[in-house]
Amino acid sequence: MELIDTHCHLTFDDLARNIDAVIERSIAAGVTGWLTVGTDPNENRKAVELTQRFENLYAAVAIHPHDAKTVTDHTLAELKKLAQNIKVVAIGETGLDYHYNHSLHTDQKRVFAQHLDIAADLNLPVIIHCRKAFDETMDILQSCGTGIRKVVFHCFSGSAEQAKLVLDRGFYISFTGVVTFKNAEKTRRAAEVVPLDRLMLETDCPYMSPEPMRKQKINEPALLIHTAKFLADLKKMSLATFASAVTATSRSFFNLPA
């Protein structure tokens, strides 16, 4: 069995300081591919650097919506250059976060649209971070997303109705361990409507360990197996069948070698 953690932050200190052991435990658990996601210029550089160390490790680069207020033309030029590295397979995470509001909405919208331009220019998929801004995110994808090939809503926290709107647009949906949480009934209803050829898995580690490991403070890719088992049960199928389907979806979405 092979699983791919399509959204993790392996450059964050909690994971980076033990990276060899983290990767070893991941492989032992059957999670044999990773996409580490950069969030600012420094993390982006570290993410691309780290991909040089592990064959099945790829990177996505972007400035997180939290930091939209810091983004200048220079930041974007640097980002675009880095995104042309052979191991960079997506632009992300980008989007809108109206929950924390660390940056003004006007800045977040501008920077989101600028990221979509870069993705279209480089023909790369986009990883969307969307919190409490579903309609606005869909609007910007509609008006500024021309030429974008593929879009995934990461850490999906919307309703089944919203999931259907995302699917209707031809987009993809990725679930974290949140789907295993007791109070995440809405997320489970959403997961039920997503077909496996549009569904991907992620840890978003070091955050949010899945049940039954929720007490483990630092989440890591090895724990993806719990989210996979949980969703295989929800879909009433064997883990092996589920894993091979979502791994195929992830490979084709991010254009990863088999």
Residue 115 binds to Zn ion (criterion: CB under 5 A) = no
Query: Which CB sits closer to Zn ion, 125 or 235?
Result: 125
Query: Which CB sits closer to Zn ion, 35 or 232?
Result: 35
Count of residues that interact with Zn ion, criterion CB under 5 A: 3
Query: Which CB sits closer to Zn ion, 207 or 234?
Result: 207
Residue 129 binds to Zn ion (criterion: CB under 5 A) = yes
Q: Specify whether the CB–CB gap between 176 and 9 falls below 8 A.
A: no
Q: Specify whether the CB–CB gap between 40 and 236 falls below 8 A.
A: no
Question: Least separation, in Å, of the C-beta of 241 and Zn ion?
Answer: 28
Distance CA 144, CA 180 (A): 34
Question: Least separation, in Å, of the C-beta of 5 and Zn ion?
Answer: 11
Considering only residues 45 to 74 of the shown chain, the ones binding Zn ion according to CB under 5 A are none
Q: How many CA atoms lie within 13 A of 188 on its CB side?
A: 13
Question: Least separation, in Å, of the C-beta of 133 and Zn ion?
Answer: 12
Question: Least separation, in Å, of the C-beta of 129 and Zn ion?
Answer: 4
Query: Which CB sits closer to Zn ion, 80 or 129?
Result: 129
Query: Which CB sits closer to Zn ion, 54 or 153?
Result: 153
Query: Which CB sits closer to Zn ion, 140 or 232?
Result: 140
Question: Least separation, in Å, of the C-beta of 93 and Zn ion?
Answer: 5
Q: Which residue is nearest to Zn ion (CB)?
A: 129
Part in contact with Zn ion (CB under 5 A); list of ranges 14-22, 74-82, 93-101, 178-186: 93-101
Task: Give DSSP secondary structure letters for the chain.
Answer: --EEEEEE-TTSHHHHTTHHHHHHHHHHTTEEEEEEE--SHHHHHHHHHHHTT-TTEEEEE---GGGGGG--HHHHHHHHHHTTSTTEEEEEEEEEETTT--S-HHHHHHHHHHHHHHHHHHT--EEEEEES-HHHHHHHHHHH-TT---EEE-S--S-HHHHHHHHHTT-EEEE-GGGGSTT-HHHHHHHHHS-GGGEEE---TTS-PPTTSTT-SS--GGGHHHHHHHHHHHTTS-HHHHHHHHHHHHHHHHT---
Residue 109 binds to Zn ion (criterion: CB under 5 A) = no
Query: Which CB sits closer to Zn ion, 5 or 204?
Result: 204
Question: Least separation, in Å, of the C-beta of 177 and Zn ion?
Answer: 13
Pattern 198-237, Zn ion, x by CB under 5 A: ------x---------------------------------
Residues in the site for Zn ion, rule: CB under 5 A? 93, 129, 204
